[in-house]
Amino acid sequence: MFFYKLGRNQSLLFMKYIFTMAAAAFLLWGCANEMEVAPQAAENPQSVADTTNFNNPMHAARSAGTKVMMQAFYWDVPGSGTWWNTISGKVPSWASAGIDAIWLPPATKGQSGGYSMGYDPFDYFDFGNYNQMGSTETRFGSLAEIQSLITTAHNNDLSVIADIVVNHCSGGASQANPYTGSNTYTNFQPASGLFARSYNDFHPNNVHASDAGTFGGFPDLCHDKTWVQDWLYNNSNSIAKYYKNTMGFDGWRFDMVKGFEPWVVKNFKNAVGGFTVGEYWDGNAATLETWANSAEASAFDFACYYKMRDALANNDLTQLNGDMLLKRNAYRAVTFVANHDTDEIYTNKILAYAYILTHEGYPCIFYRDYEEWLDKNKLNNLIWIHNNKAFGNTTYLFADNDEYVARRNGAPGIIVYINNSNSWQERWVDTNWASTTIKDYTGSSTWEPVTQGDTWVKVQAPPHGYTIWSPK
């Protein structure tokens, strides 16, 4: 959610907030470093057995959910309508690296017009083609430019994930509201002429006073209203069907799903298919699992995120043995190290990527980590290993304050050895390979040991680094 960024870019957002108040008179707003070590990623995605669930990637036009997702934005990306073109230019190299989907920010007109990051939705059908809220283009560009981006992504076999914000709306005009006895900003007459809204479509109303949660004082959509359901997913030109059939989006990231019931996500996804993931911001793995099962969708694995944060911040890699959604239901887990809302893993961040890109779940890479802050060669190497070596379930072999070792049991499978100490470490580990020469596919170690007949072998890892072993 955009609101949480106040702590990071406070002064900039405050200025935008003041501008919005005055204008609207309304409320608040890693080419692999493998090179010679790891060849180019294979083109064929990992197969998925379950073909009955709409969230299964096999129901999407492409392979979203099987390789690696790129979050293709960060908070306060450059404005002036250039972002869609920026992403278009990066798509070919991302596809070559092994990315299978790009998650875009909310792409339609918000209350703040050309300043909006999209999380203050006003017109769900204005992709930068209507002059309203102070601009024609969105912060990210024009309708033609996002259409070109989606085409470019599809031409490179990338799925495009739309960010769906349907908990709340923003920018409505004032109107008398019989349910509150006062005026509320609930009169929405978008220039597109689609999904007009009034006080009847928000809480409180004649159905009930509230739902699962509100956000920041914004008008809170009532999902029990037939009018709202029709425009979200039932109508032939609903948001779900327009975004899928007209715009060409392949999947959905739902914002702030704590604010409404999980059946909303399930109904939307069942109307159009496609990979679906919800932002249920909660560190409890059991709670995430319950929501994911109810919504029949994936969830961002905040439990994994917080365990990695604590493990690296407190020099205690035993935290990585804790409860996570990926360990309860890897098929439903979207793992991540940072996103546009939260970025708390500062020290040895690459170790967190080594974890999510070698373990189960669907990993998501943050744009700034990949393009600006971390070693792109190392990230590309990890992506290649994820897509080509890291298969099967996981056996956790060892963990203490400084060291963590796990084994993926598929074919060919891997041994991942994370070392957060200040010196090289060595450890005997049990593999799935007898009398087999193995190598470190990160290139950090030059060892090429032969596993014993009983499958044991000694491996090593560099200080504040990692190695990933598999048959040569």
Is 459 within 8 Å of 426 (Cβ atoms)? Answer: yes
Helix (H, G, I), strand (E, B) or coil at 374: coil
| 402 annotated ligand-binding residue | yes
Question: Does residue 255 have an active-site annotation?
Answer: yes
Question: Does residue 403 have an active-site annotation?
Answer: no
Q: Which long-range contacts (CB under 8 A, 24 or more apart) does 144-149 make?
A: 145/81, 145/84, 145/85, 145/88, 146/84, 146/104, 146/107, 146/247, 147/247, 147/248, 148/84, 148/85, 148/88, 149/84, 149/85, 149/87, 149/88, 149/91, 149/104
CA distances from 434 to 159, 397, 405 (A): 40, 17, 19
Catalytic residue (choose from 255, 289, 296, 371): 255
Alpha-carbon 81 to chain mean position: 23
Q: Which of 325, 312, 310, 233 is nearest to 274 (CA)?
A: 233
- Name the one residue in this structure whose structure tokens are 């109904």: 267
Q: Which of 65, 118, 71 is nearest to 273 (CA)?
A: 65
Q: State the Cα angle at 331 between 329 and 336, rounded to 5°.
A: 90
Catalytic residue (choose from 34, 100, 250, 279): 279
Question: Which residues are CB-neighbours of 7 under 8 A, at least 6 positions away?
Answer: none
CA distances from 292 to 269, 286, 402, 406 (A): 13, 10, 33, 26
Cα–Cα dist 9/83, whole Å: 19
Cα–Cα dist 256/280, whole Å: 6
Is 88 within 8 Å of 381 (Cβ atoms)? Answer: no
| 323 annotated ligand-binding residue | no
| 419 annotated ligand-binding residue | no
CA distances from 278 to 51, 53, 140, 356, 432 (A): 20, 16, 23, 18, 36
Q: Which runs of consecutive H residues, i.e. helices, occur in 217-316?
A: 226-229, 239-241, 262-272, 285-295, 302-313
Neighbour-count burial of 408, counting CB atoms closer than 10 A to its CB (0-12 exposed, 13-18 middle, 19+ buried): buried
Cα–Cα dist 450/436, whole Å: 5
For 286, other C-beta atoms within 10 Å of its C-beta total 12
Residues with catalytic roles: 255, 279
List the binding residues: 167, 224, 402
List the binding residues for Ca(2+): 167, 224, 402
